[in-house]
Structure 1
Amino acid sequence: MVIDNWWQTELGAPTIGTHARWPARPGFAGRPLAGIDADVVDENGDPVEVGKQGFLVIKKPFPSMMRGVHGNPEKYESVWNENPAGYTSGDLAVKDEHGYISILGRADDVLSVAGHRIGSADVEDALVSHPAVAEAAVIGIPDPLKGEAIIAHVILRRGYEDQVGRGLRASITEHVRHQLGPIGSPQEIRVVESLPKTRSGKIMRRVLRAQAMGQDPGDLTTLEG
């Protein structure tokens, strides 16, 4: 049995989880643990309906939670004031009728393509299900017609490198189109040798977005060497 949980570095300890005595619900991390007041709310801080996507917030501080951001009190203040309901985790979530919470991904990792919202993780999952793709990361860049255009960065599996010029990109694009529909298909596929990651293995999409936009990528101290 796998006992799931959700937390962040800023929180210092598991915050939402499935206790060993609770029934597990597939796809859901669990319920707020002892002493945690968490909820899924809209942009106004009001609880959303069961099964509806919203923002995951922590309504009250608890002992292991961060008490500030060194040298940047404005940042600490912003995470408590971005949403009226409380601390903004930055994650999207849904809650079921039993109070279990499922984490859907980062709020800033949702792409808006032609009026449709699609998660970066959904496109990346479709990409890596292609036999040639080992890893993938997608970003959205401004597009005058679609709002955002999807740019995919992929690392190929060994043995597929020499097929890049023989329709491999088209094959990958068609595969994603079949999986997600036309809205989810990348406008461009860039074959890369590596992806920018933190030391814990999290892909830093903002670095890819900054590179695509010709912008400063910002603080790179957490980037793996």
Structure 2
Amino acid sequence: DAGRFWQVCQDLKVTQFYTAPTVIRALMGQGTEWVEKYDLSALKVLGSVGEPINPEAWEWYNTHVGKGRCPIVDTWWQTETGGHLLTPLPGATPTKPGSATKPFFGVQPVVLEPESGKEIDGVEAEGVLCLKDSWPGQMRTVWGDHERFQDTYFSQYKGYYFSGDGCRRDKDGYYWVTGRVDDVINVSGHRMGTAEVESALVAHAAVAEAAVVGYPHEIKGQGIYAYVTLMNDVEPTDELRKELEKWVRTEIGPIAKPDLIQWAPGLPKTRSGKIMRRILRKIAENDYGALGDTSTLADPSVVDDLIENRMNRA
């Protein structure tokens, strides 16, 4: 029921609604009539969490759920950090669609050169998002394995906490998280973040959701494999597939054109709404016999459909 969220908001007079961009994009695909059926006037603040939110989803959330009157708090943090690290202050921080804005009190983010580990001087920067010094709520160890704790978070860049995410910082000092640094595809020697290709795909009016992974390509090294969920009233056709390829080529450039596009009625997500990209990579690589732990999947049947209709059968 695509209206269940909004029914709960209406019946319980919810004032703060916090969800993941994946959920927002899924709701976008169901149309605005589900939102408009309910009275959401009690809402005061809208939140986004779990992954970078693309500007199109941000605008939909702002326009149709918040009616342009609710501040959108796009938060970046991790379980390990104990609380928000980048976040606007509701009603006080001017927001930009897709940006987690600026650091919270006591937090000192830095942008490092991925290869050298050097801090990038100047306001505008793009690289690896790390933290220097400590902050309130910081985890101190991993139970029973302190060495693993040190190796995971502090060994890559000495003197910094390694978040595992990439980002860019704009001229106003706003941070734009671009996704996990391991979610990078190397196509013919060109490195690009999967989030960039996904954002281009969901900017198309026919697309509700998209997830992009790399797969072995004998010429390019890695090819671009896109899983695409269409809006409710859109039929999947070969013509649309070609249109999306052209769309991404125009939005980003020829190097970003997907090699394979698979229509996906649904994407494998955890119960909290996070896409399980590990499973998508395995299917794209035609290695679906060893998917690993799938116990956290909200709907395991989605995986069966993706395997059955996979595009890479080499």
Q: Shorter-chain TM-score: what band?
A: 0.7 to 0.9
Deviates further, 47-56 or 208-217: 208-217
Deviates further, 138-147 or 125-134: 125-134
Q: CA deviation at 1:156?
A: 2.4
Deviates further, 14-23 or 140-149: 14-23
1:59 aligns with 2:129: no
Match of 2:44 in 1: none
TM-score using structure 1 length: 0.83
**Aligned partners of 2:129, 2:163: CA distance in 1, in Å?**
6
Change (3 A) 1:168 1:194: same
Q: CA deviation at 1:208?
A: 0.5
Match of 1:206 in 2: 278
Match of 1:8 in 2: 78
**Aligned partners of 1:170, 1:21: CA distance in 2, in Å?**
43
1:18 aligns with 2:88: yes
Counterpart of 1:217 (choices 291, 296, 308) is 291
CA RMSD for the aligned pairs?
Answer: 2.7
Match of 2:303 in 1: none
- Written as runs of structure 1 = structure 2, the 5 A alignment for 1:88-99 is 88-96=162-170, 99=173
Q: Could you list the per-position Cα deviations for residues 101-140 of structure 1 after superposition, in whole angstroms to 9, with x for gaps in the alignment?
A: 3322221222222222222122112222333322111101
Change (3 A) 1:211 1:148: same
TM-score using structure 2 length: 0.62
**Aligned partners of 2:133, 2:174: CA distance in 1, in Å?**
19
- Written as runs of structure 1 = structure 2, the 5 A alignment for 1:42-121 is 42-43=113-114, 44-50=116-122, 51-70=124-143, 72-77=145-150, 78-96=152-170, 99-121=173-195
**Aligned partners of 2:176, 2:131: CA distance in 1, in Å?**
15
The answer as to whether partners of 1:41 and 1:85 remain within 8 angstroms in 2 is: no
Match of 1:170 in 2: 242
Letter of the 2:119 partner, please give it.
P
Q: How many residues align?
A: 223
**Aligned partners of 2:292, 2:162: CA distance in 1, in Å?**
21
Mind listing any 5+ residue stretches in structure 2 that lack a counterpart? 1-70, 300-314
Q: Could you list the per-position Cα deviations for residues 33-64 of structure 1 after superposition, in whole angstroms to 9, with x for gaps in the alignment?
A: 32223211123332113323111112233341
1:33 aligns with 2:104: yes
The answer as to whether partners of 2:178 and 2:196 remain within 8 angstroms in 1 is: no
**Aligned partners of 2:95, 2:204: CA distance in 1, in Å?**
29
Q: CA deviation at 1:75?
A: 3.5
Change (3 A) 1:158 1:4: closer
Mind listing any 5+ residue stretches in structure 1 that lack a counterpart? none
**Aligned partners of 1:76, 1:217: CA distance in 2, in Å?**
26
**Aligned partners of 2:131, 2:270: CA distance in 1, in Å?**
25
Match of 1:189 in 2: 261
Letter of the 1:76 partner, please give it.
F
**Aligned partners of 2:86, 2:271: CA distance in 1, in Å?**
24
**Aligned partners of 2:243, 2:170: CA distance in 1, in Å?**
38
Match of 2:196 in 1: 122
**Aligned partners of 1:191, 1:97: CA distance in 2, in Å?**
38
Letter of the 1:9 partner, please give it.
T
DSSP 3-state at the match of 1:53: strand
**Aligned partners of 1:130, 1:91: CA distance in 2, in Å?**
26
Letter of the 1:209 partner, please give it.
R
**Aligned partners of 1:160, 1:19: CA distance in 2, in Å?**
38
Change (3 A) 1:191 1:21: closer
Q: CA deviation at 1:205?
A: 1.5
